[in-house]
Amino acid sequence: MSTCPPYFIWIQYISWFNYGFEALVILQWKDVTSIKCDQSTDEYCYNSGPQLIDELGFQVDGFWVDILALIALSIFYRINYRYCSNMITYQSHCNGRVGEENGSQSIRTWVLEHKNMGTQTQNIDPRTGVNGVPEYKRGHKT
């Protein structure tokens, strides 16, 4: 993290990659007592798994903290997704873009209802319908 600008350091705390990678490294290397190394190369060789874990800046005791952080982030992201998804649906209802007559149809619901109707509905916009006629007005005299 020494090469990362200070204003980006906080991102590591909301990244599941950080916690997942640390948990996997600890799980993989904590019980390895000896690592065979080819001395013919100029690269640095680690002698044991705990030495590798320490060199990466991880702590073996932090495994369960990583697991709990992954669970917490999963719950947080799921709640955030639901909230944002509901807000988008709510805003589309308030703007009258979808389901202007009955007010209960969202773009997502429309897509799910018309998903399996074949290729003929793939290019239909729920706001304009077929040939520019919204779905709720088809068959009605204007």
125 φ, ψ (degrees, to nearest 5) = -85, 125
Q: Render pLDDT for 20-44 as a digit per residue (tens, 0 to 9).
A: 999 999 999 999 988 888 777 767 8
DSSP string, 56-78: TT--GGGHHHHHHHHHHHHHHHH
Query: Where residue 110 falls among pLDDT bands split at 50, 70, 90?
Result: low
pTM of the model: 0.56
- Contact between 101 and 136 under an 8 Å Cβ cutoff? The reply is yes
- Return the bridge partners of 120, or none: none
Distance of CA 83 to the CA centre of its chain: 14
Query: Of the segments 6-10, 47-51, 68-72, 98-102, which one has the largest average pLDDT value?
Result: 68-72
Instruction: Identify the helix (H) or strand (E) that includes residue 81.
Output: helix 63-94
Residue 121 pLDDT more than 50? no
Residue 86 pLDDT more than 60? yes
Residue 15 is which amino acid?
S
